[in-house]
Structure 1
């Protein structure tokens, strides 16, 4: 039977999910102090971390700062660089030989469409001659120029342009492990979990390990990856697959050295569409992480590797391409009894738009904010958590699918199938039908925890040249003069930033050498 007070939290599994969750819980729940919870991470010494060079959202800045991480130290230890968004290459239509077309999804617009001023309907009327992503966001142009989001004199975690990070996931897990155990009073056990023991009420009582015996706990966090040893195997929570919507179930990853130590570093993820998937290209401090995410139903592994090597070019010669199978979908419940799954044990879509780590942060924060110290409150928080994350994952699936289903590419069965109505969720079909006559607006995004906000949808829709006909209600948009002034202000802001900001490589090298000024 469960104790009345939940004092001992056991996290099974390390990696990014386990150690990030441990840090957030420890900081918010005063771990190790009298009268507070005790947090222990059990990490297998035999299971490697699936790390290929990760992308994050700006929330990671808030998370790292809140748990007491020095930004400069983190960047040096994890080969980290700044990320200002993503560039989508050759998604809009089938490229002709030698052609490249692209658009940016930056991390912020200058004027946020939900609560400042929605420039989209005025852009649709020709108030700016620039492509949408360049017209409304200085950051897209900063990315084009290879400039950094801040100056070397800008304090740690502060920004002139919103930013997140690219980092080495294996090194990040090791860095957070050290931070948790040395500074946040998190306990650590190196062992393999071999068995899960249950209470008669159906909750988890303890786990049996190969080298440290039985580890008891009041509450368990499953960070065991796609195996889901606790929530999936022990508690029997099923899996909801999404392969009929998102097709990319396999990835090939490669680590590509820079040709020279001073080689430019892209300040954004580069996602290039191909015949059966897309390649990611992430610039770390000392190398690029490059990979091909593809559908095994539309490509052989041999053809996928050929495409990846062609994309990388002569630098791929002699480099290993590591294959990673992706389990697409989410748990039918994320929380059951005294156990919650976070990370790949809970859900996985695909790496496009880098939502995985953000959703780890979101889950850990909600768990910490709502943690039921009394076992009597478990059921209430369980339902809230499950409802919230079911919606969050469904919304994320819609947004990822958007990139594919509005493409004009029809060069392979992969693109034909991605654009077929049968593979598009009804919720997204309804939105798209509405947006053909109304630009997306604040009424379309009424959920406080929507993972992808209005501006994100606008960047993808109009980057992909989605057609919205507003001729029937032009009178709804009378502020043309104000819109033109705002477009001009964005131009002026961009001109100033262009003069102030160093290149991304220049800033990264200085951060690695000198660290960052404190706030």
Structure 2
């Protein structure tokens, strides 16, 4: 087949039944009219026990795009909540990378109560001056306390509140919070949904791929399978894309390995945040779900060997970790140059991965699955160069923006070990958001940062501001101007900050949440 051939995609074969493959199957089933979809995997194999931390977009995808009831999700999946990535000790610095857009707060505070704004602040309004005053004041005093941060630092609390009808709706609590998933229960839930929605799950292991002139003709395990479009969801093996010879654009990041363990956790100790601390040659994570604490050490194999990394992991954590119960992973950072090649498209880790710091993998899989289904539907399911390149541009831009954002944590670290010193040399090119923050304060959207951002970026422009602040990166703009913020704005910021601790009491504890929404569950 030539690369310019056009034909309609009616059958779709997905290789890999992990979360990325199943989410892609569900998106295609929902977004297309009666497609034939099958997923091939060795479904008898256990799901890798790595905690699933997510970003806010995943809630939109699950509940709005796939129309999964939040109540059903919490009934069938062991989950916790997430309000921030809590950098509890990043080379001696403590700060938060919150979800959503918790700042600015001035227009959201009314007599100490949280209210959602009724109009966009980013418009022609005198309120823009209050937004600037708030950001400049916060820069000068270093005060970034929000409800999201406070929740992250309060074990045992969810971001949920009860309404009169006891309906599970995260919008009534902290609307930009997200989920932590137990990987085994989440994958089992996705399999159930696939079967309910007519997606064929085939228990087989693909061992052979037949191709000609860059197109896949068939795949085979115990038997042979054929489809109009093949989806490679085989993870880092890239079973199909390797056959097509698709190259990987590598990202310059200093970590390539992880050691992982799990322990039990009680309701009172669950933290609604992904907690991160730094080590000698990398960093540690903690992800809590309703009964499991997932722990990991992400490190550089060039700076520490596996045995030394395991020893540091066990010694650093307060929890008792059995070294024999740990698991090791190797990963590579990068994105395929051609995510959709002829009649094969890669998803999940098969198409791209950065590293786990900002919890991007699962959310990005969902977002790109949504885009794939949308692009196919809006182009009559025609497989053509133009449609493929549209998806490829979107995919590359998504992963490149994630790479730029994650690289900030390494470029501007203040660690002193050989690993951290060398990590400051990564990603030498200019990052528009950093340049904007330095030159113009980054407190408004009409800067170079937002003008050059694409709709693929998972991070809003205020998040860059908060992370750069937390890392200690100075803004020449804020530092160099002589400006007195409006005292009324300063007072409102202080009023909001003082109210945060008391308002945490309004949120449900994990014990209260599961008693209300999952009465049969015992912790």
TM-score relative to the length of structure 1: 0.86
Question: Which of 146, 158, 171 is 1:148 aligned to?
Answer: 158
Q: Does 1:296 align with 2:301?
A: yes
1:81 corresponding residue in structure 2: 80
Cα distance in 2, alignment partners of residues 439 and 172 from structure 1: 41
Residue deviations 1:335-393 (CA, integer Å, cap 9, x gap) = 11121100010011111010101110111000111116657552111111111121111
* Structure 1 residue 461: Cα displacement: 0.8
2:349 corresponding residue in structure 1: 344
Residue deviations 1:110-156 (CA, integer Å, cap 9, x gap) = 3459955598864664458864431xx32112222333211244533
Q: Secondary structure at the match of 2:240?
A: helix
Question: Which of 472, 475, 479 is 1:468 aligned to?
Answer: 475
* Structure 1 residue 329: Cα displacement: 1.4
Q: Does 1:426 align with 2:429?
A: yes
Gaps of 5+ in 2: 106-119, 123-127
Cα distance in 1, alignment partners of residues 135 and 286 from structure 2: 31
Q: Secondary structure at the match of 1:313?
A: coil
1:215 corresponding residue in structure 2: 225
Cα distance in 1, alignment partners of residues 319 and 138 from structure 2: 44
Residue deviations 1:434-472 (CA, integer Å, cap 9, x gap) = 533432242202322222221221221111222113268
1:56 corresponding residue in structure 2: 54
Cα distance in 1, alignment partners of residues 385 and 221 from structure 2: 28
Q: Secondary structure at the match of 1:180?
A: helix
1:10 corresponding residue in structure 2: 13
* Structure 1 residue 319: Cα displacement: 5.9
Gaps of 5+ in 1: 31-35, 96-100
Question: Which of 130, 144, 148 is 1:133 aligned to?
Answer: 144
* Structure 1 residue 473: Cα displacement: 6.6
Q: Does 1:110 align with 2:124?
A: no
1:202 corresponding residue in structure 2: 214
* Structure 1 residue 492: Cα displacement: 6.9
Q: Secondary structure at the match of 1:315?
A: coil
Question: Which of 228, 235, 253 is 1:246 aligned to?
Answer: 253
Cα distance in 2, alignment partners of residues 317 and 4 from structure 1: 54
* Structure 1 residue 59: Cα displacement: 1.7
2:463 corresponding residue in structure 1: 456
TM-score relative to the length of structure 2: 0.85
2:115 corresponding residue in structure 1: none
1:33 corresponding residue in structure 2: none
Q: Secondary structure at the match of 1:424?
A: coil
Aligned residue-pair number: 487
State whether residues 256 and 319 of structure 1, in contact with CA within 8 Å, keep that contact through their aligned partners in structure 2.
Answer: no
* Structure 1 residue 224: Cα displacement: 0.6
CA separation of 1:51 and 1:118: change in aligned 2, threshold 3 A:
farther
2:503 corresponding residue in structure 1: 497
1:276 corresponding residue in structure 2: 281
Q: Secondary structure at the match of 2:38?
A: strand
* Structure 1 residue 489: Cα displacement: 5.8
Cα distance in 2, alignment partners of residues 509 and 255 from structure 1: 24
Cα RMSD for the two superposed structures: 2.8
Residue deviations 1:264-309 (CA, integer Å, cap 9, x gap) = 2101010101111010001111120001000001111122111211
Q: Secondary structure at the match of 2:167?
A: coil
Cα distance in 1, alignment partners of residues 148 and 236 from structure 2: 36
Q: Does 1:166 align with 2:165?
A: no
